[in-house]
A and B are shown apart, each in its own frame.
Chain A
Amino acid sequence: MDFDPNDDQRAFLDVLEQMATGPDAAWGHDPDWKRYQWSPALDATLDENGFFDCAAEPDLGPVAGALMVMRLAELPVLVEAAASTLLRPRLAPDLPRPVAVMTGDGPAPFLPVARSVLRLAPDGVSAAVLDLGDVAAAESLFAYPFGQVGTPGAGWQAVDADPDTARDLWRVALAAELAGVLKGGLGAVLEHVRSRRQFGRPLGSFQAVQHRLAGASARIEGGAWMALRAAETGDAADAAQALGWMQASATRIVYDLHQFMGAMGLTLEHPLHRWTYRARWLKSALGGAEANLSLAAARTWGA
């Protein structure tokens, strides 16, 4: 057991950190008050430098990929990382990115900005390269660019992959993204409660606030390690358990984060919604907490 990154992973994370703290990753409200802030500049920089291929590098591996997904999900801006980093190298390395993922027929995140789409149906995996006009943008409360695709002009191509394995890779990616999103929201709220004073004291000095945020931190970190372990082992029960745990934890954490941000968290001038409305979509993914925890139980003890 070693919970520290290896030297290559550390070097990789150091460079990633420079990008994650650079100007293309910083919060700024959208001129049209959109609920998300797509950062094509950060996405392009990461892409040009090969970051999205890290999971396929023997010295970095899926653990580095999951760490990268988490770190980028902490940002108030949006890049498409989960599918590109943890699905694409295993399922269809030649797909142009950004890559959207559909698990049903309805609207899905990232479609309006994606250049390809992976469809993870229970009976098979397929992919399509997207052309202009394939995707209709869809308004959504969730903090992603949502869109809907009918039949892509280029048509669907079957991907030679086991559909259950593909969904488990996606579960790990979603768990990592949800852990990162909640960590990002927690970070913003911590900053707020350290400085915001009420009743003559910082809000963060009240035990009622401290204990709930400490509990949130324990749940997020536990889930983050479970996601990293699932990324490394590729174990089906680990994958369902990591996602189910993060999804089950998200409801309470999202509530607390908004409570402690008060009215500021209800405005579009503060980025809290960027994290909580990604978390709210992520906690519904692949059937939500109960479905994934039930699946994990069936995989552990047999149905």
Chain B
Amino acid sequence: MDFNWTDDERRFRDRVRAFLHRELPSDWAEVARHGPGSAEQTAFSRDFCPRLAAEGLLVPHWPAEWGGQGRPTWEHFILGEEMWAAGEPRGAQYMNVNWIGPTLMRYGSAEQQARYIPAMAAGNAIWCQGFSEPEAGSDLASLRTKAVPDGGGYVIDGQKIWTSYAGLAETCFLLARVPGAGDGKAAIAIFLVPMDTPGIEVRSIPSLIGHGDIHEVFLTGVRVPASARLGAEGEGWSIISYALANERVGIPRYELSSRTLSRMAARLKDEGRFDDPVIRARAGSAAAACEAARMLTYRAVSMRAKGQPAGPEANIARVAVVEADHAVSEFGMDFLPGAYTAGGGNGGADDAAILAHHERAIVAGIAAGAAEIQLDLVARRHLDLPRGAA
């Protein structure tokens, strides 16, 4: 066992940090305040990601034929830690890097690959994921949006909800049910749908988690060609499983939490309050939660780096990551309530960072499926407990 970074990994992290230090503007904390899906951050990502690509830091882990350099899994992960901790200047494009691009490489047609992957590798493609529906949140397989075969293509009708990035995305990674193709998961197919296709209407939902991050998407008679379908009709669910497995350890949330906690501790020290044994023990507890999440995530990444499937290990890591995000957020609210009210904090970048962390933290247990789904999976796959009654 070895819990140290190699020299190459350290150098890579330093390079990413130096790039961020050089490229992020002085008002970045304000830009990042409103979340990766905000108009501000999306606009910034359209300028930032091409620069990241030119530096070879957008998709270094992708194969060379798709614009990458075939760099190791750990470098991809370090990149994710640094970007998330910096407030995710890639905006929605982190999804392309982590899972949409790799999923298209594996399952896409030659035409789909040629159409979409180069734009992702160049840092100029905003996608949204059309998964959740009013009747299908964590229970994704019960989705109802229909894609009816019609004249060599499909006509899609239905509704998506809580969709991140939909307001500004060019393309949707959309799940729909093909009638007659079987029941449940077997009928689910994936469509890559340009958001300017007639019949798509997007409404922003005011939310607790940043400007313009959550949407409803209404699909009415949306006509797409058969070439928009990713994989075969019955293959949708296995493709989603592949994509979500990539997403589950995709966001190293503990890194931002850990750094935000350090900001909070520094603020409390400045105010002469860090001698308080209650505050110090709570800070230590939140820090330990971050490190537990870090170690469990690294274990899953370590397996992935060796080509081993990290199923239950990824599930257990996500449970810990959610707990860490909330521990830090609640620590801030308990001991630095002023930071969450105008005029109550120090008015500096710290306030924006603490607010931004809170809005990201409260999503942790919900996004990509409720944390309770992960607990179900840990119980069944890792603890070998019997499946519950239906």
Contacts and interface: CB of A to CB of B under 8 A. Distances in A.
B30 interface: no
Nearest to A229: B3
B265 A218 contact: no
Interface stretch (A28-36, A86-94, A288-296): A288-296
Contact of B4 (A1, A193, A204, A303): A1
B112 interface: no
B266 A3 contact: no
* Interface of chain A, main secondary structure: helix
B25 interface: no
Interface string B288-310: 11011101101101110110000
Contacts of A294: 277, 280-281, 284
Contact of A190 (B284, B296, B385): B385
A207 B382 contact: no
Nearest to A64: B1
* Interface of chain B, main secondary structure: helix
Given A226-B292, A293-B285, A296-B284, A3 B298 contact: yes
Given A222-B295, A301-B265, A190 B275 contact: no
Interface stretch (B92-100, B130-138, B168-176, B370-378): B370-378
Contacts of A229: 3, 295
Contacts of B346: none
A291 B316 CA distance: 27
A4 interface: yes
B375 A215 contact: yes
Contact of B265 (A213, A245, A297): A297
A148 interface: no
Given A2-B302, A205-B385, A217-B378, A63 B280 contact: no
Given A1-B74, A210-B388, A290-B277, A301 B303 contact: no
Interface in A62-83: 63
Contacts of A291: 281
Contact of A225 (B262, B299, B382): B299
Given A241-B284, A298-B280, A211 B1 contact: no
Nearest to A213: B383
B319 to A, nearest CB: 4
B1 A214 contact: no
Given A214-B383, A222-B295, A296 B3 contact: no
A211 B375 contact: yes
Given A206-B388, A226-B295, A303-B275, A3 B378 contact: no
B302 A204 contact: no
A106 interface: no
A207 B388 contact: yes
B274 interface: yes
A1 B296 CA distance: 12
B262 A301 contact: yes
B284 A222 contact: no
A183 to B, nearest CB: 12
B379 interface: yes
A1 B281 CA distance: 29
Contacts of A215: 319, 375
B75 to A, nearest CB: 12
Given A3-B299, A218-B316, A294-B277, A204 B283 contact: no
A214 B269 contact: no
A284 to B, nearest CB: 15
Contacts of B298: 1, 3, 225
Contacts of A225: 292, 295-296, 298-299
Most buried by B among A190, A215, A240, A301: A301
A300 B284 CA distance: 9
Interface in A210-262: 210-211, 213-215, 217-219, 221-223, 225-226, 228-229, 232-233, 240-242, 244-245, 248
Contacts of B303: 3
A219 B292 contact: yes
A125 to B, nearest CB: 25
A45 interface: no
Given A211-B379, A293-B281, A1 B387 contact: no
Interface of B: 1-5, 74, 262, 265-266, 269, 274-275, 277, 280-285, 287-289, 291-293, 295-296, 298-299, 301-303, 305-306, 316, 319-320, 323, 372, 374-376, 378-380, 382-389
Interface of A: 1-6, 9, 63, 190, 193-194, 201-202, 204-207, 209-211, 213-215, 217-219, 221-223, 225-226, 228-229, 232-233, 240-242, 244-245, 248, 289-298, 300-303
Given A194-B385, A225-B295, 8 more contacts: A2-B1, A204-B386, A205-B387, A214-B378, A226-B288, A229-B295, A232-B1, A244-B285
- 5 smallest CB-CB distances across A and B, nearest first, come from A222-B292, A293-B284, A210-B379, A225-B295, A297-B284
